């Protein structure tokens, strides 16, 4: 059975400080006697479950449309790292991470339903040395269970180390009910040309199901 591990988009959800606030409006309404319901959305693309493209932190980098589907589908490995404040290379070195892997980190971020809570300045994320290690491993994708793969005080360096090496960054995953292990994985971001990020629908399934 497929499980959805993405947030969806809803009013009142947590956003990165300073991002354009989410606004969902109904331009046409059947209740008002108009011919259809038609809604509009205004917000930042780095909202909820989303991917970062190289263009997010690299001048003239690739936009979200350039990620090959092979990086966004296949087998993903969920790794549970409880009880730590940051993910450093010391937490990764014995995990046998290899070329082409898709790694999703479950951390103490998943102890709460963070989507509808206030922004947590102390979320768990990667350090720069961990980002470099994953880049050296030549993985395809790395995901995290909060709004950023990097902590605010180390935001640029971590993102650049990953994105310069064509590693897809997937942020805002819902992993509260998910055990670590290997899963069939599908991540489908909206294809927006010249855009540095995109909302994504992400589903997983235990391997061998059916």
pTM recorded for the entire structure: 0.96
Q: How high is the pLDDT of residue 85?
A: 96
Domain that holds residue 120: 3-206
What does the alpha-carbon distance between residue 44 and residue 113 come to, in Å, rounded to a whole number?
21
Q: What pLDDT, in 10s, does the model give residues 44-66?
A: 999 999 999 999 999 999 999 99
Residues (pLDDT < 70) of the chain are 209-210
Q: How high is the pLDDT of residue 152?
A: 85
CATH number for position 157? 3.50.30.50
- Picking from 181, 138, 145, 183, the residue whose alpha carbon sits closest to that of residue 162 is 138
Q: How high is the pLDDT of residue 93?
A: 97
80 beta partners: 106
- State the DSSP string of 89-128: GGGTTTS---TT-EEEEE-GGGGS-GGGSPP-TT---B-H
Q: How high is the pLDDT of residue 209?
A: 56
Name the token pair of 54: 């190289």
- Picking from 130, 122, 143, the residue whose alpha carbon sits closest to that of residue 186 is 143
| Total count of domains within the chain | 1
What does the alpha-carbon distance between residue 57 and residue 162 come to, in Å, rounded to a whole number?
10
């Amino acid at each position: 059975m497929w499980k959805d591990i993405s947030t969806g988009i809803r009013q009142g959800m947590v956003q990165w400080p300073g991002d354009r606030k989410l606004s969902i409006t109904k331009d046409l309404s059947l209740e008002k006697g108009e011919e259809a319901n038609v809604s509009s959305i205004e917000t930042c693309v780095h909202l909820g479950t989303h991917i970062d493209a190289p263009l997010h932190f690299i001048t003239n980098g690739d936009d979200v449309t350039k990620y090959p589907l092979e990086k966004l589908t296949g087998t993903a490995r969920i790794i549970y790292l409880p009880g730590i404040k940051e993910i450093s290379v010391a937490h990764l070195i014995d995990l046998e991470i290899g070329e082409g892997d898709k790694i999703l980190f479950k951390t103490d971020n998943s102890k709460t339903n963070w989507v509808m809570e206030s922004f947590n300045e102390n979320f768990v994320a990667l350090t720069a040395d961990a980002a470099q290690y994953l880049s050296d491993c030549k993985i395809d994708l790395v995901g995290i269970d909060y709004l950023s793969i990097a902590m605010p005080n180390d935001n640029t360096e971590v993102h650049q180390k990953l994105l310069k090496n064509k590693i897809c960054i997937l942020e805002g995953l819902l992993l509260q009910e998910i055990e670590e292990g290997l899963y069939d994985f599908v991540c489908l971001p909206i294809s927006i040309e010249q855009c540095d990020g995109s909302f994504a629908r992400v589903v997983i399934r235990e391997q061998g199901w059916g």
